[in-house]
Amino acid sequence: MLSGAIVPHAPLLTIGANSDGIPEVMATIRSALEGVRSIPSDVVILVGPHGPTTGVYRTPAGSLAGFGAPGMHAGAARSEVSTTLAEAWGVPEIDGSDHGVIVPLLLDALPPVPIVACTLADWTGNSTGWGDEGDPDTSMASAARLGEAIASLAADGSVLVVASAHTSAALSPRAPLTEREEGSRLDDRILGALRGDPRGLLDISPSQWAAGGACGAGPLTLFGQLFGGRSCEVLAYEAPVGVGYLVARVP
């Protein structure tokens, strides 16, 4: 059985701030994540966009030291499913971690089951450039192979696929990419797909992902591949600093 969720990975949600309504946003997001934690599953596959290369992390553990918060660290035990997934996907197991993995762990966003963390190197030009994948077509093909590998795992148990992703980072003048019309249009398309048919995420072109400034094109594309035709519930959507924080689920 296959179920899915989308969670944000902004360090701001864990480090916090006392202005601009951030505490209220943090409370809203944390409350919405209860709807993710409650999804029955045997294993969680957590997929983010911020790794140094496409692969499966040996162990989902690390800290936010790179964001000035070395005391903010989290981790989960290694699962043998990590090796199984890497082999089925045809990618290496890699060391280290990134905030796309650590923040969901710090937010206690996932059910208390074994966790496998992996990364689709970002290809939108907004985070790590084109990564080692070289171009969007190659990255899309990698996402498709990951979907196939996950589907094979789901034949033997309940798998929860969690896309660790943001929507646009260009939703207001104070956003990391400042304000762009393409950002609002991208978020409208993402939310429209999730509230209608997640397959609509596959209709968003690489140029639209890049212009809108989303760090999560790979995980969100994977989400559309896996859950097209199914009903998705948007549990929360906030953009306090011009970046879209989204919580959604396909139980």
Structure confidence by residue, pLDDT tens digits, 81-137: 999 999 999 999 999 889 999 999 999 999 999 999 999 876 654 443 333 444 677
> Does residue 170 register a pLDDT over 50?
yes
**Please, are residues 177 and 215 in contact by the beta-carbon 8 Å criterion?**
no
For the chain, domain boundaries:
2-166+230-250
Residue 40 CA to residue 115 CA, distance in Å, equals 13
pLDDT band at 215 (very low <50, low <70, confident <90, very high): confident
What is the CATH code for 2-166+230-250? 3.40.830.10
Helix (H, G, I), strand (E, B) or coil at 189: helix
Q: Which residues are CB-neighbours of 3 under 8 A, at least 6 positions away? A: 39, 40, 41, 158, 159, 160, 161, 249, 250, 251
Type of residue numbered 153: L
pLDDT band at 151 (very low <50, low <70, confident <90, very high): very high
Neighbours of 207 (CB within 10 A): 11
Produce one character per residue of 169-182: b if its CB has 16 or more CB atoms within 10 Å, e if not: bbbeeebbbeebeb
Is the dihedral angle over the CA atoms 217, 222, 223, 225 positive or is it negative? positive
Helix (H, G, I), strand (E, B) or coil at 40: coil
Which tens digits make up the pLDDT trace of 12-65? 998 866 666 788 899 999 999 999 999 999 999 999 999 888 999 999 999 998
